[in-house]
Amino acid sequence: MKYAGLLVMPAGFFLSIAALILFPGLAERGVFVLCGLAVEGLGLTVAVRGHMPPRGERQP
């Protein structure tokens, strides 16, 4: 889980960069960059959850 989340995050970055290249208008670019940030947020959420110590188990 933790690695999957971290692997998703660069995908969000490349989505943002693709928006700059593919779209000429500011609005379309903005929407796609926001989508890229949302993908990064999703990856971060997965990574955070993957790193959370399981409840009910004693910590080292």
Q: Does 46 bind another protein (CB under 8 A)?
A: no
> Do 49 and 32 contact (CB within 8 A), yes or no?
no
Residue 43 CA, chain-centre distance (Å), reads 4
- DSSP alpha helices (H): ranges in the chain? 2-22, 26-51
CB of 33 to another protein, least distance (A): 5
CB of 48 to another protein, least distance (A): 5
Q: Does 26 bind another protein (CB under 8 A)?
A: yes
Residue 29: exposure state from Cβ atoms within 10 A (0-12, 13-18, ≥19): middle
Q: Does 25 bind another protein (CB under 8 A)?
A: no
* Contacts with another protein, residue ranges (CB under 8 A): 2, 6-7, 9-14, 16-17, 20-21, 26, 29-30, 33-34, 36-37, 40, 44, 47-48, 51-53, 55-60
